[in-house]
Amino acid sequence: MGIRHKPGFLRSLNQAWRGMIYTVRTQKHMQFHVVAGISVLLFAWWSRVSRFEWLILILAIGSVISAEVMNSAIETVVDMAQPNYHPLAGMAKDVAAGAVLVTAIQAAVIGMIVFAPALLRFTRGIF
């Protein structure tokens, strides 16, 4: 007897994927983060990072993408609730964007720390 899923689980999974696809299709920043994440993973493969470094890089990429998804959700809800300009609505959107900025800076620092040895080896071979 196989594992039985509740009927709602597959529907929830489908809705989550639909939200991700919508975000990637409609949000330029999300498109940038996805391309950047894929680029980092390719560079990690090329530079042969350790298993621990893979985990840290995947966590950093996932954090940025998660923050961007939440930012998009907050912007959508704010736009729906307050279609006209309101300072608090604008501040809510700015704060959500700030969360993305913090995770993106964190991911960039992690990338610099992880990739510094490989970049140094590479540049020594050139010069």
Active site residues: 68
The annotation status of 47 as a binding-site residue, yes or no, is: yes
The annotation status of 17 as a binding-site residue, yes or no, is: no
Tokens describing residue 22: 């919508």
The annotation status of 25 as a binding-site residue, yes or no, is: no
The annotation status of 50 as a binding-site residue, yes or no, is: no
In order of 50, 86, 94, 120, 125, the CA distances from 117 in angstroms are 12, 48, 36, 5, 13
The annotation status of 75 as a binding-site residue, yes or no, is: yes
The annotation status of 94 as a binding-site residue, yes or no, is: yes
User: Annotated binding site: which residue ranges?
Assistant: 46-49, 68, 75, 93-94
User: Annotated binding site for a divalent metal cation: which residue ranges?
Assistant: 75
User: Annotated binding site for ATP: which residue ranges?
Assistant: 75, 93-94
User: Annotated binding site for substrate: which residue ranges?
Assistant: 46-49, 68
